[in-house]
Amino acid sequence: MVEIGSILAKAVRTEASDVHINVGMQPIVRVNTELMEMDFPIISNDDARDILLSLVGQEKFDKFEQARDLDFSTSITDPDQRFRVNAHYQRDTIAIAFRLICDRVPSIDKLHLPEKVKDFADLPSGLVLVTGHTGAGKSTTLASIIGLINTKYRKRVITIEDPIEYWLLNDKCMIEQREVGSDCPDFATGLRHILRQDPDIIMVGEMRDLETTSFALTAAETGHLVFSTLHTTNTSQSMERIIDIYPAGQQTQARTMLANALQAVVSQTLFRRADEPGMVPSTEIMLCTSAVRNCIRENRIYEIPNIIETSRRYGMHTMDNSIAQLCLDGYIDKEEAILRSSNRAKMEQALQLAGTVTRRSRRR
């Protein structure tokens, strides 16, 4: 049998973010977004079955056989490391995906997030959303904000996550982390009685359904600071996603609640760094000014991108603003900046103009 502990230990030492076990292949790791084969034997059908059985036990394995999909977490001791795991079937064979869970929460500075993100740790109440596609670093950004709060304030923080990706150790804060599946059956159930548990700050791993979304808005409106994520790529999509969760007859009320509760939206994506190995986030930041709140209430969400574009003095910026700055600072390649911008011609022109200005200033 292939020893899964050895595979995971080697993955940790190579600073991988993910490990993949698929029948007919050697184990695969992802390092800085690149997939690489590991120096282990090819996984057989029996290997995959035995690995999963050793990780979850017979009872959960039997449930997996029925559902054909299973989320859980596991750990190794040398080195000490936790993993988020998904087991599933593909081509009628078992496949297992491991994601490393970190207990060393990176700082906002270490992540190269905008300085404005630090201000979210000082908010007394309201809703802050971090949005982006899967793997964009949303959970890491949330953990870094909670980590900053933990160094500054004596607050009670309760999180509900699926799964827990960072162990948040108590510093000044008292932190409780609940994991969907092991500590509560789902987000909605976990949140149902959370207001009776005396939280100052609530972190909801994802706003997936009406009950979870409604709770987050209500909690934010009633004096709690709430953090959550959405699988959306910009502020406008995020607003529309929240409103569309509600039935048509409740959407006017939902817009009012959202306008009252929302404090900020950070949308992010990751770029491969050009200056050194690793990734760097590009962000869009929207702050809820009175103009933004009016747009939400009056169903003029389409106007919000223009408000962001013209409100840089308040700390807002568009994704393209961020991409351009990362390129000018040497973090990402010009070609990738242009390729992944929303308007390639405009991005190319902006970078060309900025480069010309820089060269002129150097000559002076």
Residue 89 Ramachandran class (φ > 0 left, ψ -120 to 50 alpha, else beta): beta
Count of Cβ atoms closer than 10 Å to residue 254 Cβ: 20
Name the DSSP class of 182.
T
Q: Per-residue confidence of the chain (364 residues) as pLDDT tens digits?
A: 689 999 999 999 998 989 999 999 999 999 987 899 999 999 999 999 999 999 999 999 999 999 999 988 888 887 788 898 999 999 999 999 999 887 789 999 999 999 999 999 999 999 999 999 988 999 999 999 999 999 999 999 999 998 788 889 999 999 999 988 889 998 989 998 899 999 999 999 999 999 999 999 999 999 999 999 999 999 999 999 999 999 999 999 999 999 999 999 999 999 999 998 889 999 999 999 999 999 999 999 999 999 999 999 999 999 999 999 999 999 999 999 999 999 999 999 999 988 754 444 443 3
Name the DSSP class of 113.
-
CATH class of segment(s) 116-276+287-315: alpha beta
- Share in percent of the chain as helix, strand, coil (round to 5): 45, 25, 30
Domain boundaries, the chain: 4-101, 116-276+287-315
DSSP per-residue codes, 126-149: EEEEEE-STTSSHHHHHHHHHHHH
Q: Fold for domain 4-101?
A: Beta-Lactamase (3.30.450)
Cα 38 to the chain's mean position, in Å?
Answer: 27
pTM given for the model: 0.86
CB 23 within 8 A of CB 93: yes
Nearest to 205 by CA among 119, 101, 88, 64: 101
